[in-house]
Structure 1
Amino acid sequence: MGLGQSPVTAANHTLRTVAGDGDTTGRSQEVDPKPEATKSMPSASEQLAQDLPRFFPGITSKDIQAYIRDGGNYEPSPLLQRELGTPAGVLTKHSIERSTIFPGSKHDYWVYVPKQYRGDKPVCVMVFLDGESFLKTMPPLLDNLIQEGSLPPVIGIFTNSGVAGPGYPIYGGKGNRAVEYDMVNGRLASFLDNEILSKVRGQYNISNKAGCHGILGLSSGGSAAFGVGWHRPDLFGRVVSIVGSFVNIAGADAWPSMVRRAERKPLRVWMQSGSKDLDTVFGNWPLANQQMASALAYREYDFVFEFGEGGHNLRHFLSEADDVLRWLWRDVPADVRLPNRP
């Protein structure tokens, strides 16, 4: 079968093949408010091609081309903008100056608290890995979906990976992202539980039920989100992986085999990739995601795999983010719902 098709079928999961498109990476671009008359502003793809060698000094021109390609026709969901009359939650920034689980690395994180939070009953929580990438889109979406009753009150935690580390294999660079996100050990789950969630629990009344905890990530953050749920299904029961890096950057290509060999864990998983997703020295993302979906189907997980035509970015996900979160957060425990809400 071609990349746009998959033999994955099972009674309790859904496979969707969706056509779509995009030409940006989900990253904001600074624009000169008064450009010179002769000045030509680079496109998003051109800017990305310029930025990648700064972050990854060892990246090849062939791999750069894999990052900037895209396809399809994906328009962002209107609910990424707060609707008129919808109450806005509060977003605050925090930092962990010195992690004990990832020694020597500082982590920034932001906490979103919905307007409906009262503190008299437990609420759900959702972690966004590479959280700064989602600060403009997800808080308004959470506001809208909580207001319409599709989601229970959810406290959002938007956390970045550590700023100091060995960088990526082969590509080089700085940062601790590969160590935290691309390995298959349980250190990230322990970090989230012991160094971030513990602080948030000290301030807010958060449910202790796994069905009230979700986690979402992009690229290496997508495979990492699955890993957190895998290692701590007692803590995170709902997972979103966007163009997940189930490839051999630091061993995450082992996930499909690990899923097949183990008994099914109590996880609900939404994952997405596209035919223009990455094909680099580390592996082929479309094939890796199809292998992962096939493994989840083999073990009869409750999951959705959407395979479209987009590249390695947020465009496909943002076109239907509201429906993704509605699916992810269906059937929450009764004690965390708003009064008179389904």
Structure 2
Amino acid sequence: MSLDQSLARKVVSTAAVLFLGTVPPYALAQNVPSGLLPAGANTTNPSAPFYIDPTGLNFSTNPPTRDPSNPNYPKATQIADGRLPPVPVNGNFIIGPTHPAAPEVTGTQTGTVYTFRMWSYNSKIYPTSLVRVEPSFDFINQYGRTAPGDFSTMLVPNCFTAGSNYCSEAGIWTRVVQVYVPRDARGQRALPFIVSGDGTPPPIPGGPPTQLIEPILFPTLDSLIRERRVPPMVAITVENGGQDAQGSERGFEYDSMNGQYAEFIETEVLPQVEKVAGIRLTHDPAGRIAMGISASGEAAFTMAWFHPELFGKVLSYSPTFTNQQWPHNPNLPGGAWQYHSQYAGPPPTQLLQTESFNVPTPVAANQSAGLPLVPNSPRKPIRVWYEVGDYDGWYPNPMADGMHDYVLACENMAKALAAKGYEYQFIFAHNAGHVDLATIKQTLPNAIAYLMGGYQPNGD
């Protein structure tokens, strides 16, 4: 019996995933060094709004890190360095600190790539773009302001009424879509597929390399198909709408807590994919993986959460299950943080300032008090694989709202998914940063195989 088979048998035979090792002692609280958080951040009073929990944080690293054996985190299985958890096993796992690339990611690409471009003026769902105008691209993350007394609401005014040095205005977007069709995808049968946000346009000849997802995803999928670990399936990458975070088109599309982005992919992107590549895509959600990195990783979960009838699988690296939503939505004041955890601020009593950009999302009435979605909703027919690194993000902007610790958010999501009985695999990677390239190359083949495990085409 191999090490992986032995570990799989041991994990499956237990009612809960066991933590292998001892739990080190942790102080109940620590003082946060100056400069890591905006002035006024609450790190001392858990009963007050916007509490930021510094328990077990190591402030000698940048960003601050938490050991995955933190007693506030769900228990996880430690995997031997350089190895990965067994593909069919659900639960929480710790890998690293070294991340050898899987051989599949460097395989020979034998399929065909089709490329086309989309423009905002042809879109019914996103007919315009949000363009943030500011002194420099990262200005909002360093100097952006929040609503007075409310760290959870980022203020990005409409440029028509702006009295500040940064604002957001309407513009146009254009994006490249790339479609990888493997050589074995022949005939008229409907094909399963992966669709990923944050795709990139092809590199400019002689220019710097810009691609991240495509050079890894396409050969990996080709290798998995040749090895018969997954059926012949298509990979689709969709460029984002531009910029990042609040006030931008990328932030608006990926961080909004609604089904709009899933509807954009379903009604505007996928029909073009079928037309350009001359293929048919399955309508079976079990054969549709929504994938992404960072904000598009959170958006991948949002696609499945709001439209499980369209997307039944989620693959995400460093998902930002945090409060990035903009414009502010009083129905879900914690943004994506509310997937797994209670809104960290005071219960909203009125519509908060939205600065002419409010696009409220109807949700169940009991969500108005800031209750988390996953624990308070019926279990949905989706399977989830996601990863976070120990050096992932921690309060990268002025929103000291108690809802911006990327690692804590992923750990809390694991608790929520486990409690509701979801099929999921959560990977905590040692020695890994935000959207860590080495970790992606190590884990992507197994992640796809895990999500497609047991898939049977429905003949559509």
Q: What TM-score range do you get, normalising by the shorter chain?
A: 0.7 to 0.9
Residue pairs, 1:116-265, within 5 angstroms: 116-132=184-200, 133-163=212-242, 167-169=244-246, 175-202=248-275, 203-250=278-325, 251-256=335-340, 257-265=372-380
2:111 equivalent in structure 1 = 89
Superposition deviation, residue 17 in structure 1: 1.2
Q: Deviations over 1:238-278 (max 9, x none)?
A: 11111100111112212111111101000000011122111
**1:121 is matched by which residue type in structure 2?**
R
Q: Deviations over 1:9-28 (max 9, x none)?
A: 8xx831101122xxxxxxxx
Query: CA contact under 8 A between 2:318 and 2:389: conserved in structure 1?
Result: yes
**Matches of 2:416 and 2:405, distance apart in 1:** 17
1:14 maps onto 2:91 in alignment: yes
TM-score normalised by the chain length of structure 1: 0.75
**Matches of 2:214 and 2:389, distance apart in 1:** 24
**Matches of 1:254 and 1:335, distance apart in 2:** 34
1:304 maps onto 2:442 in alignment: no
**2:68 is matched by which residue type in structure 1?**
G
Superposition deviation, residue 335 in structure 1: 5.3
**Matches of 1:19 and 1:324, distance apart in 2:** 16
Superposition deviation, residue 334 in structure 1: 4.3
Q: What SS does structure 1 have at the residue aligned with 2:373?
A: helix
Aligned length: 275
2:443 equivalent in structure 1 = 320
1:272 equivalent in structure 2 = 387
Moved more, 119-128 or 263-272: 119-128
Please say which structure displays the higher CA radius of gyration.
Answer: 2
**1:126 is matched by which residue type in structure 2?**
I
Q: Percent identity?
A: 28
1:331 equivalent in structure 2 = 454
Query: CA contact under 8 A between 1:219 and 1:242: conserved in structure 2?
Result: yes
2:181 equivalent in structure 1 = 113
Q: What is the aligned counterpart of 1:295 among 416, 423, 434?
A: 416
**Matches of 1:286 and 1:312, distance apart in 2:** 10
Q: Deviations over 1:176-216 (max 9, x none)?
A: 11001111111101100011012224431222111111111
Q: What is the aligned counterpart of 1:76 among 101, 123, 142?
A: 101
**CA RMSD, Structure 1 to Structure 2 (Å):** 2.2
**Matches of 2:176 and 2:448, distance apart in 1:** 24
**Matches of 1:88 and 1:141, distance apart in 2:** 11
Query: CA contact under 8 A between 1:237 and 1:268: conserved in structure 2?
Result: yes
Which structure has the highest helix share of the two?
A: 1
Query: CA contact under 8 A between 1:219 and 1:243: conserved in structure 2?
Result: yes
Superposition deviation, residue 8 in structure 1: 4.9
Taking CA–CA contacts closer than 8 Å with sequence separation of 6 or more, which of the two structures ends up with the larger relative contact order?
1
Query: CA contact under 8 A between 1:273 and 1:286: conserved in structure 2?
Result: yes
**2:389 is matched by which residue type in structure 1?**
G
Superposition deviation, residue 7 in structure 1: 2.3
**Matches of 1:184 and 1:334, distance apart in 2:** 30
In structure 1, list runs of 5 or more residues that go unmatched: 21-72, 337-342
Divergent runs of 4+, >6 A: none
Superposition deviation, residue 279 in structure 1: 0.4
**Matches of 1:8 and 1:177, distance apart in 2:** 34
**Matches of 1:114 and 1:78, distance apart in 2:** 18
Superposition deviation, residue 159 in structure 1: 0.4
TM-score normalised by the chain length of structure 2: 0.57
Q: What is the aligned counterpart of 2:126 among 93, 102, 125?
A: 102
**2:103 is matched by which residue type in structure 1?**
P
**Matches of 1:128 and 1:232, distance apart in 2:** 16
Query: CA contact under 8 A between 1:246 and 1:253: conserved in structure 2?
Result: yes
Query: CA contact under 8 A between 1:121 and 1:335: conserved in structure 2?
Result: no
**1:328 is matched by which residue type in structure 2?**
L
Q: What SS does structure 2 have at the residue aligned with 1:190?
A: helix
2:368 equivalent in structure 1 = none
Query: CA contact under 8 A between 2:102 and 2:442: conserved in structure 1?
Result: yes
**Matches of 1:303 and 1:137, distance apart in 2:** 22
